[in-house]
Amino acid sequence: MPKWLDLNEVDDDEILLKKNRMSRSLVLDTPEVSEVADAAEEDFLDTMEPAKKSMTIFFMIDVSGSMKGTKIGSLNSTMEELLPSLIGVGEASTDVKIAIMKFSTDVEWVTPEPVKIEEYQYWNRLEADGLTFMGDAFLELSKKLSRSTFLSSPSLSFAPVIFLLSDGSPNDDWKKGLDTLKQNKWFQHGLKIALGIGSKVNMDVLRAFTGNDELAVQAKNADQLRELIKLLAVTSSQIGSRSLALVDSNGRQSAEEAVAQAKQQVLVEEIRTGAKDILGEAVDLGAVNYDEGW
With cut-offs at 50, 70 and 90, classify the pLDDT of residue 46.
very low
Neighbouring CB atoms inside 10 A of 54's CB total 21
* SS3 state of residue 8: coil
Instruction: Report residue 20: phi and psi, to 5°.
Output: -60, -40
Span 156-167, average pLDDT = 91
With cut-offs at 50, 70 and 90, classify the pLDDT of residue 8.
very low
- Determine the pLDDT at residue 213: 94
- Determine the pLDDT at residue 18: 41
pLDDT > 70? residue 106: yes
Higher pLDDT, 143 or 30: 143
Check if the beta carbon of residue 165 is closer than 8 Å to that of residue 137: no
Span 173-198, average pLDDT = 95
Averaged pLDDT of the chain: 79
pLDDT > 60? residue 119: yes
Measured distance CA(97)–CA(116) in Å, rounded: 4
Pairing of strands 94-103, 191-197: unpaired
Question: Maximum Cα–Cα distance for the chain, whole Å?
Answer: 86
Percent of the chain residues topping a pLDDT of 70: 72
Listed in sequence order, the DSSP H helices in 48-118 are 70-85
pLDDT > 90? residue 79: yes
Span 158-164, average pLDDT = 94
Q: Which of 166, 170, 169 has the alpha carbon at shortest distance from 195?
A: 166
Q: What is the pTM of this model?
A: 0.77
- Determine the pLDDT at residue 190: 93
pLDDT > 60? residue 112: yes
- Determine the pLDDT at residue 290: 52
Check if the beta carbon of residue 139 is closer than 8 Å to that of residue 177: yes
